[in-house]
Structure 1
């Protein structure tokens, strides 16, 4: 029975594109995701070894805004996962299968109204793609420098009045129901893991993530860490007790995993 629940974001926290990795693709790096016939995401070999070891000692929960399909593309070290969270908390996977009862709890989310309004507002060459994720939320792929002045503020205000939130992560602008969040899904997984006998009631909750959609998960954890890059770094997100890595890119991923082991060791000290 484990003494730690670890919820960890994936993109730019655990896994990295070649551009975001920060060091050359060589024998010290392994590809963990293929897409359209080519490599897409990487981890250092040291990170893969650390993550496998961590998964054998704690209840590690991959926690991502990716859809179920996008998550399934990743060959993440440490699998198979008893629990994983996708769709920003909209889906909980149990032994790889989305839990129908959890997903049904979001059936009353009014996605069509948001899609319709967004289509009317986000019209122009600056919008490269419009996407809907798992029938839960939507996002735009944009040219960041071409987003019209005031769009984010105006769209955020419209969404906030209807129980939705907006965030931009690089080329993606997410429109997300407030009820769909990583922290709520992690809390549900913790309850289930205790009931399953995988996790001690007094276990600590640890978390790591780099984006605005990770903020609630970091704040809800007993101890949390973020890399010194990404959206939260740009926002200077530094609540009391949050650890920030000294490294960036893939080395930050290694530092995060080392930090997890350190927090577990501290918790186990008499």
Structure 2
């Protein structure tokens, strides 16, 4: 939904962009003016659950027009925020299944650190004590690095994906779909959502695939990691637009499906849970 100036594309200036994230006293991320309005209006038709690989602190920098949201999913599903605060019950669950599935993040970071060097890696960071990622110079990055690193990780219950300058190393136990399924279960249990309500989702990277496949209907933009790998799914639509205007198209799609998938006994707010990734 949100784009840096670099990722926004050539139509950035023509979209009357609205800044929704400030970092180090400088504007960082934007919505188009139309997308800003559409996202605010969407909350009248659906429960919006922002879903992101960002940590809670990184997500907290974003000022979405329809916020604050009762629920958000951060840390790629490792954290569920309830009224802005990480839910300890969910985190305990993630920590337990992660410990049973493979080595801890510290051991993975140590192994990774021994495989990289400063000639092409700008930083190695640990996120929310759950996963790690590299920020790299893609021009200098060894062509076989991701494949070799994936070969070490996969037998140990971890996965690897690259999104632009970032290479993520993620435990298989941490997924967006599991966290969104939990949020949806809570919202149906307290009758905020009807039991037959649908889940709509959007995403553009490999770390979004499980969420896109879990959703009843989903959409991805015609750019990003999934476009580069030509990933397709019969229940996942693809935008015509690229860059920041793809966000407008996705939000228009959300509006159309949030109002057309209603069970006859549902109120407007009970129809749909929409999950937008960033």
TM-score after normalising by structure 2:
0.89
Query: Which one of the candidate residues 49, 53, 58 is aligned to 1:61?
Result: 49
Query: Which one of the candidate residues 35, 38, 55 is aligned to 2:26?
Result: 38
Note the residue ranges of structure 2 that are not aligned, 5 or more in a row.
99-103, 265-278
Contact 1:56 1:78 in 2 (8 A): no
Offset at residue 268 of structure 1 (A): 2.8
1:209 aligns to 2:203 (yes or no) = yes
1:161 aligns to 2:145 (yes or no) = no
Alignment match, 1:15 = 2
Q: Secondary structure at the match of 1:139?
A: strand
Alignment match, 1:92 = 80
Q: Secondary structure at the match of 1:201?
A: coil
Mean Cα displacement is larger for which, 260-269 or 107-116? Answer: 260-269
Query: Which one of the candidate residues 171, 176, 185 is aligned to 1:177?
Result: 171
Alignment match, 1:229 = 223
Note the residue ranges of structure 1 that are not aligned, 5 or more in a row.
1-13
Alpha-carbon distance between aligned partners in 2 of 1:268 and 1:180, rounded to the nearest angstrom: 31
Alignment match, 1:3 = none
Q: Secondary structure at the match of 1:199?
A: coil
Offset at residue 228 of structure 1 (A): 0.3
What is the Cα-based RMSD across aligned positions, in Å?
1.4
Mean Cα displacement is larger for which, 149-158 or 131-140? Answer: 149-158
Alignment match, 1:192 = 186
Q: Secondary structure at the match of 2:211?
A: helix
Alpha-carbon distance between aligned partners in 2 of 1:150 and 1:17, rounded to the nearest angstrom: 28
TM-score after normalising by structure 1:
0.92
Contact 2:197 2:262 in 1 (8 A): no
